[in-house]
Amino acid sequence: MNALEITNFTKRYGKTVAVDSISLSVKPGEFFGFLGPNGAGKSTTIHCITGIARFTEGTISVFGHDVNQDYREARKKIGLSPQEFNIDIFAPIRKILWYVGGFYGMSREERKKRTEEMIKVFELEKHAEKQFRQLSGGLKRRVMLARAMMHDPQLLILDEPTAGVDVELRHELWDYLRKINEAGKTILFTSHYLEEVERLCNRIAIIYEGKIVAVGDKSEFVKEGSNLEKKYLELTRKSGGKS
């Protein structure tokens, strides 16, 4: 059973086709890079996987659970750290984690333990009572990850998690993501920093203008002295891109 199975998925906004009949699978335990320029359909796909957006064509399932028919089970298995800070900026960090744990049905004891664990793992001890808006950009990113991990999901979806993060924190995040991936978490990762995708991911897909233009092991993108960036530009140009 795949961690993520997308079959003939299409998303339309009125007459505009944002994602055009894509099929994709992510195996359990993979660190999967999902790349593409702005507006290519990455975030739209992620929104449809997680329930932020609706779709009527194709199917998406997470560990065998259809995201429409069996949405409760599917969503319990997903943790999302989105590109934008979609958080109550006036809420204190501890409360944010506490409430999210509750939404996922965690008991008070479980929530209390996990909240403290997340605060410790992401080194938020000094900031736990601060409102989200009072934090620096790097700390905000940590909170987003802590929130995504709060209910201990099996599939972690990270939409540009290192955007606006300084070098030190970026390295810390990489180490943390590698560690949880080695511990068995499946990660779907998008980023515009191709060197970090090359460093972290073992399989990669490139989406361009709503279509998957390449998918395969990292080795297929970096063979014969080439690197991911060269291959990425080559593929998006070949597909009619302007980059």
Partner 1 sequence: MNLIGLQTFIQREIQRFLRVAIQTLVSPWISALLYIFIFGYVVGQRIDLIAGVTYIDFVLPGILMLNLINSAFGQTSSSLYFQRFARHIEEVLVAPLSYLEMILGYVIAGVVRGLVVGFGVFMIAVVFSAANMEHVGLFLLYSIGVSLIFSFLGLLIGLWADSFEQLTILNTFIITPLTFLGGVFNSIHMLPEKAQLIMKLNPFFYFVDGLRYSMIGLHEGSLFVGAVIMVILVLAFGGLTWYLFSTGWRLRG
Question: Which residues lie near partner 1 (CB under 8 A)?
Answer: 13, 44, 47, 50-54, 71-73, 75-76, 78, 80, 82, 84, 86-90, 95, 99-107, 147
Contact status, residue 206 vs residue 35, Cβ threshold 8 Å: yes
b/e 75-100 (16+ beta carbons within 10 angstroms → b): bbbbbbbbeeeebeeeebbbbbbbeb
Q: Which is nearer to partner 1, 81 or 162 (CB)?
A: 81
Q: Which is nearer to partner 1, 56 or 219 (CB)?
A: 56
Minimum distance of partner 1 from residue 193's CB (angstroms): 24
Q: Tell me how crowded residue 152 is: count the other CB atoms within 10 A of its CB.
A: 16
- Inter-CA distances, 155 with 32, 45, 62, 64, 79, Å: 11, 15, 8, 12, 6
d(CA 40, CA 11): 12
Q: Which is nearer to partner 1, 119 or 213 (CB)?
A: 119
d(CA 17, CA 197): 27
Q: Which is nearer to partner 1, 50 or 186 (CB)?
A: 50
- Tell me the residue type at 111: R
Q: Which is nearer to partner 1, 101 or 196 (CB)?
A: 101
Contact status, residue 158 vs residue 188, Cβ threshold 8 Å: yes
Closest CA to 203 of 2, 58, 1: 2
Minimum distance of partner 1 from residue 85's CB (angstroms): 8
Write down how long the chain is: 243
Q: Which is nearer to partner 1, 50 or 181 (CB)?
A: 50
Minimum distance of partner 1 from residue 132's CB (angstroms): 10
Contact status, residue 186 vs residue 13, Cβ threshold 8 Å: no
